[in-house]
Structure 1
Amino acid sequence: MEMIHRLTARWWFRVIAFAGLSNALIIPLLLYTSHLKNDIGYHYIYSLITETFVLIILIGLSILIETLRGKGKWFTFGILLDKWAIKDIGMGAVLNLFFAFAIFIFATVFSAYSDVSILPKTDIFVYLSLIILIEAIIEELIFRGVIFQAVLDRYGITIAILLNSILFGMGHLANPSINFYAIINIILAGVLFSGMYIRTKSLWLPISFHFFWNWFSALIGSPVSGIDFQISLTNIAWLELPAWLFGGSFGLEGGFFATILIIISGFITLKYSNSSPFLTSILFKRSYYESQLLFKLKIDNG
């Protein structure tokens, strides 16, 4: 077992294992479901099922890698559900509810209303809301999960955040209506989400903030990273609002409002978020154990 502990103690092994296994499992899944869509036709349920399987794969691999680490626990990549997690989830929800309300009020000042207001069907609303939730969790597992944490262990906060945030921005380059300012905001969001993980040593706050930002944006009618989810509960004509402020066809992430709110969220995170003492102690014990393993290995190798 010590041999496995020595392997998983190496940051690069965890990166290669997670990236390699996830791609080996997810790419065939996406190819298969893409074939089904071509044969049967698109429906929201297919995207929901596909993304659910992707989520299961990512969580399963994260649990496997964490469990195999010395002094490891299955939840130490960031999904320990305790009172601290509930606080983080609530913080993400409340912040974004306030932000969405503020943006909605400002939008009404410009009196940009559509002539029609069509409420989404219940089944479509549920499907698309679940898709928004699952996509937020998937992105956080990819960008703030095992790989980010491995780089953080090896290179420290500054390099890990910079590298992660740039990759997060690049991951959205293929989104519809992407523009330079939107990329800057997404990179800033990457910095924010990375900071949230570092402050809490948990993925719950970045997951919660990510999901509720996207969901509330969709509910008030804004596109989300260039995608119109069509679950709006308002009749505001967002494309008639000033694009520099509200983001235009890319959505709120492409506007100056988002920049302000990301900065505000950063200050709130620094002031009010913290980590579970229980989780902190587990991570410290594991870090010490792995450092001893690697030191012993270095001595053995001369």
Structure 2
Amino acid sequence: MSADSPLRAADGRLRMTIRLAVGSVLIVLASVLVALSGVSLLGSLVGEVGRGGQVVTVGVGATLGILFVAREVDHRTWSDLGLAADRRWGVDLAAGLALGALLMTGVFVVLVGGGWARITQVGVPDLTDWLGTLGLFLVVGFYEELFARGWLLTNVAEGFRTLGDRLATAIAVFVSAAVFGALHGANPGATLASTLGITAAGVFLGVAYVRTTSLALPVGVHVTWNLFQGAVWGFPVSGIATPATFVATARSGPELVTGGSFGPEASLVGLGASVAGVFAVVAYARSLSIRLPDALAWATTPTLLDDWLDGRARSDGDDER
């Protein structure tokens, strides 16, 4: 154990702000280098590389960069980032996949049922195109969660622990969500509403990570949230159209409800899905017996949501009696 210094904390590691600054630079460099080399290689093999291929190469580079930074700069194991390979990881992943699909199906039902969207075509898309879209969303769901929740949220929470566990957790969830929203601000059709909507989704995903201390649940949610939004129900995904979809839809009505060209994530309906998701993951996490890793062992302190759920449980029990 070493003494505190302007650059290093008592445990000898770089301070949180320095780790984030150095780590961000290294992650960006890895993303750019792998993307450039990957696109060049793919281009020589298959010709022109589309947007999806470019995103995949960036995702691979970002993933490699994050894993390197976690070990060499943060001095963490990969399990500290929520990547523990055990049976519960698979269970959480399956739960996340189901929840993401359910929430986005709910958005579809609300928009169609309310007359704000109509089905224009139903059919089976080209299998190759659809599988390519699935692969894209798998990569995006994994690397964005690894960055925003596994790496960024964990570091921010640790840096603010002197303020108390609950406040540190809350700050980390909201900071990571705000960065997540800002990073989508350059997407096609982005507006203030879309940035706020993506930030709200980031809070939802942050709660999923904090309450399970695993990336499995948020990764699962992220993958099927995008997949069902675009490749099943035919909505734009964060401003990007998905050509291979089972259902084609046309939207009409105020953008506050439909999300406009950005898609449902920029709408009140999408916000409602994120809020519902928070309650769902808190209820799910409460049903589990979780052994917490040291990096987040303080992160599941009771919240107002726990109090609300406890009250509901007591009320239901009284009704049964």
TM-score using structure 2 length:
0.75
Contact 2:43/2:49 (<8 A) preserved? yes
1:42 alignment counterpart: 49
1:150 alignment counterpart: 155
Q: How far apart are 1:61 and its partner, in Å? A: 1.5
233, 237, 248: which one aligns with 1:235: 248
Tell me how many residue pairs correspond in the alignment: 281
Residue 90 (structure 1) aligned with residue 103 (structure 2): no
- Alignment deviations for residues 159-198 of structure 1 (CA, whole Å, 9 cap, x no partner): 2223222211111111111122211111111111112211
- Partner secondary structure for residue 147 of structure 2: helix
- Alignment deviations for residues 176-227 of structure 1 (CA, whole Å, 9 cap, x no partner): 1112221111111111111221111111111111111111101110000000
Q: How far apart are 1:60 and its partner, in Å? A: 3.2
1:131 alignment counterpart: 136
Question: Kindly, what percent of the aligned residue pairs are identical?
Answer: 23
Residue 11 (structure 1) aligned with residue 16 (structure 2): yes
- Alignment deviations for residues 55-87 of structure 1 (CA, whole Å, 9 cap, x no partner): 541453255248x73xx5432211113232223
Provide the C-alpha distance between the structure 2 equivalents of 1:243 and 1:130, rounded to a whole number of angstroms. Answer: 30
198, 207, 211: which one aligns with 2:223: 211
Q: Call closer, same or farther: CA 1:51–1:119 in 2, change over 3 Å.
A: farther
Provide the C-alpha distance between the structure 2 equivalents of 1:21 and 1:57, rounded to a whole number of angstroms. Answer: 10
Provide the C-alpha distance between the structure 2 equivalents of 1:260 and 1:107, rounded to a whole number of angstroms. Answer: 12
Q: Call closer, same or farther: CA 1:113–1:26 in 2, change over 3 Å.
A: closer
Q: Call closer, same or farther: CA 1:87–1:163 in 2, change over 3 Å.
A: same
> How is 1:20-169 mapped onto 2 (pairs within 5 angstroms)?
20-33=25-38, 40-43=47-50, 46-47=53-54, 50-51=57-58, 53-58=60-65, 60-61=67-68, 64-65=71-72, 69=75, 73-109=77-113, 110=115, 112-114=118-120, 116-117=121-122, 119-155=124-160, 156-169=168-181
The amino acid of 1:112's aligned partner reads R
Provide the C-alpha distance between the structure 1 equivalents of 2:90 and 2:233, rounded to a whole number of angstroms. Answer: 25
Further displaced range: 144-153 or 250-259: 144-153
Provide the C-alpha distance between the structure 2 equivalents of 1:284 and 1:92, rounded to a whole number of angstroms. Answer: 20
1:298 alignment counterpart: none
Q: How far apart are 1:249 and its partner, in Å? A: 1.3
- Alignment deviations for residues 75-109 of structure 1 (CA, whole Å, 9 cap, x no partner): 22111132322232122222223223333333443
- Alignment deviations for residues 116-138 of structure 1 (CA, whole Å, 9 cap, x no partner): 55643211111111111111111
- Partner secondary structure for residue 76 of structure 1: helix
Contact 2:138/2:223 (<8 A) preserved? yes
Higher RCO, Cα 8 Å, sep 6+: 1
2:264 alignment counterpart: 252
Provide the C-alpha distance between the structure 1 equivalents of 2:151 and 2:267, rounded to a whole number of angstroms. Answer: 31
The amino acid of 1:27's aligned partner reads V
- Alignment deviations for residues 24-46 of structure 1 (CA, whole Å, 9 cap, x no partner): 32223334456678884234673
Residue 269 (structure 1) aligned with residue 274 (structure 2): no
Please, which runs of 5 or more residues in structure 1 have no aligned partner?
286-302
Q: Which structure: greater helix fraction?
A: 1
RMSD: 3.3
Q: Call closer, same or farther: CA 1:6–1:282 in 2, change over 3 Å.
A: closer
Provide the C-alpha distance between the structure 1 equivalents of 2:273 and 2:169, rounded to a whole number of angstroms. Answer: 23
Provide the C-alpha distance between the structure 2 equivalents of 1:12 and 1:228, rounded to a whole number of angstroms. Answer: 37
1:188 alignment counterpart: 200
Contact 1:44/1:127 (<8 A) preserved? no
Further displaced range: 10-19 or 252-261: 10-19
The amino acid of 1:226's aligned partner reads G
2:301 alignment counterpart: none
